[in-house]
Amino acid sequence: MIDLRSDTVTLPTPRMREAMYQAELGDDVYGEDPTVIRLQELAAERLGKEAALLVTSGTMGNLVSLLTHCGRGDEVILGDLAHIFLYEQGGASALGGIVLHTVRNRPDGMLDVADIEAAVRDDNIHFPRSRLVCLENTHNRCGGAVLSPAQMHEVAAVAHAHGLRVHVDGARIFNAAVALNVPVSALAAEADSVTFCLSKGLAAPVGAVICGSAAFIAEARRNRKVLGGGMRQAGVLAAAGIVALEEMVDRLAEDHAHARLLAEGMAEIPGLEIDPETVRTDIVIFELTSQKLTPAELSARLRAEGVLINPTEGRKLRAVTHYGISRADVEQALATLRRVMQSAA
């Protein structure tokens, strides 16, 4: 199978498996796992923050961060297409009593600063207190769109001027840094907290990391524990994360090139619509314009031919390139897609 459903399907590299086998271990709840400590120090250094915390997933990282920034009844301003809002089961509200106040996401993943300012609550006993602004970089539902350091600064400046903090859902922030050819720390510089995933394009089997100030991470550790995220000999997972950060960042450019190749090929297939110029990273969202198939039917026919691509919303589908996908796989997927579309014409 050529699996283009997500970059979460990556398998660990041989170096990761070796590092996991050889990892030096301790009890991380006691703060005694040396491999976890090394990963957290490396992550904090890369993001330009004081400290970091290993968590099981990006969703847990976002939830722990929101619980740390906000109390019950506090409000978070975020995009209406944000992963935190759409795909994390409303955990901040269900478990933290946090109000999610959405504003419109632009197609480039950005939030309009005028919309953010309009969403900030006055000091009024009838309103929840605005506490936090969340950004997503890269932006999943906006096709892997990248926010530049200038855009991150624009939002942070407005948030901080109103006394709000900024959290970045940076599940794929290393993809953004590689696409922009900037240090990842430049994208995190003005954020009060950042979560990034080890288990997507970086190809580690499990895990995400929260980065922030030492005081923030100390409190986040308490919230991780209450969510059941206190792991013991977690160095077996952290070891793969260290390899991910040391060896798998620069190769993300290969995934981006494969995604662009995929998008350019799709643009030439009748019945499909995509602008390859919008594809900046590893996510390709395209539209099925032919009425001969539904997206679910197209997905099923591709699966029968050995290609996995998921429908999303409306008549759109999403394909994601990753460590397990070669140029030959992209070319074969395009040939299969072209054949399936021709057979349905």
Tens digit of each residue's pLDDT (9 = 90 or more) over 55-71: 999 999 999 999 999 99
Non-local (6+) Cβ contacts of 174 within 8 A are 184, 196, 201, 202, 249, 252
169 and 115 both lie in a single domain: yes
Residue 16 lies in a domain: yes
In a domain, 5, yes or no: no
Check residue 134 and give its pLDDT. 98
**Residues spanned by the domain of 298:** 251-344
Assess whether 204 and 323 both reside in one domain. Answer: no
pLDDT at 154: 97
Q: Contact, 57 vs 207, CB < 8 A?
A: yes
Q: 0.85 exceeded by the pTM?
A: yes
Three-state DSSP at 33 gives: coil
188, 216, 247 - which closes a domain? 247
Within 34-148, where are the H helices? 34-47, 58-69, 83-86, 91-96, 113-119
Tokens at 101, concatenated = 């106040």
4 domain-assigned: no
Q: What is the pLDDT of residue 328?
A: 98
Is residue 131 in a domain? yes
Judgement on whether residues 127 and 168 belong to the same structural domain of the protein: yes
Q: At what angle do helices 173-180 and 252-267 cross, to 10 degrees?
A: 80
Q: Does 173 share its domain with 293?
A: no
Other CB atoms within 10 Å distance of the CB of residue 320: 29
Boundary-marking domain end, from 221, 247, 273: 247
What is the pLDDT at residue 344? 84
Burial class (CB in 10 A: 0-12, 13-18, 19+), 107: exposed
The total number of residues shown for the chain amounts to 345
Pairing, β 310-311 against β 316-320:
antiparallel
83 in helix, strand or coil?
A: helix
**Partners of 99 in beta bridges:** 75
How many domains would you assign to the chain?
Answer: 2
Which of 247, 277, 312 lies at the terminal end of a domain, its last residue?
A: 247
Residues of the chain with pLDDT under 70: none
User: How many C-beta neighbours within 10 Å does residue 30 have?
Assistant: 9
Is 3 contained in some domain?
no
Gap between the terminal Cα atoms of the chain? 25
| Digit-coded pLDDT (tens) for 101-149 | 999 999 999 999 999 999 999 999 999 999 999 999 999 999 999 999 9
The pLDDT, as a whole number, for residue 345 is 77
Strands (E), 93-176: 99-103, 130-136, 165-169
Q: Which residue has tokens 């997503």?
A: 136
Asked whether residue 6 is assigned to any structural domain, the reply reads no
- Tell me the C-alpha distance between 288 and 283, whole Å: 16
**For 101, phi and psi rounded to 5 degrees?**
-110, 110
